[in-house]
Amino acid sequence: MACRLTGIFNALSKGISSNRFNSLRADIFRALRPLITAPSEHCAKDKAMGLSSIIFLILIAVIIFWVVGIYNRLVTLRNRFQNAFSQIEVQLKRRYDLIPNLVETAKGYIQHERETLEAVIAARNQALSGLEKATAAPGSPAAMLDLGQAEGMLAGALGRLNVVVEAYPDLKANQNMMQLSE
């Protein structure tokens, strides 16, 4: 502040050289003498304060950009997670939609294996309900556990169906059965 006052007084004194201004200037200098005793020290302190303020503001800006970057990265990862789960959901629904066709194709050939076909249908329905629960809450460990258990039951029922299909060569050679079992 004292450095600025000294600069202002010097600029004013160069432009105006009247006795009145000089006496006014002398009175102001006497009143502000304690502040202006060492103008070079005050100017150095002002410059140091300005430099430290700039460094502080740059540091704050860097921290803000860093936090925004982390937030954007977390949002990107959440979106990738949701997209990956959606793709898994589409494949599971496609699989579950093909199971009734597989059972209908097999029904014509294996009439007496009714309990195996019913087990496949029940396991499919349970897996579909597990998928709906997992879709409602994709991050829920309980929903994922239910989906995993239902998938395990479905895999077991389909394994038993494949064993039955192996016992019937006509069913195994059927074109629809070959396409559906892929």
pLDDT tens-digit map of 134-143: 888 877 888 8
Q: Shortest CA distance to 92 belongs to which of 23, 138, 50, 32?
A: 138
Average pLDDT rounded to a whole number, residues 12-17: 53
**Residue 76 CA: distances (Å) to CA of 5, 73, 121:** 54, 5, 38
pLDDT attached to residue 71: 97
Q: What is the DSSP letter of 176?
A: H
Confidence of residue 21 (pLDDT cuts 50, 70, 90): low
Which residues does 165 contact at the CB level (< 8 Å), separation at least 6? 106, 110, 171, 172, 177, 181
Give every CB contact of residue 161 below 8 A, 6+ residues apart in sequence: 102, 103, 106, 116, 117, 120
Average pLDDT over residues 122-142: 83
Token pair of 77 as six digits: 């990862």
SS3 for 111?
A: coil
Q: Report whether pLDDT(8) > 60.
A: no
Please, which pLDDT band fits residue 103 given cuts at 50, 70 and 90?
confident
For the chain, the domains span 2-62, 84-180
What six digits make up the tokens of 53?
Answer: 């303020």
CB 106 within 8 A of CB 164: yes
> Measured between alpha carbons, how far is 76 from 57 in angstroms, rounded to an integer?
28
Rounded to an integer, the average pLDDT of 58-83 is 95
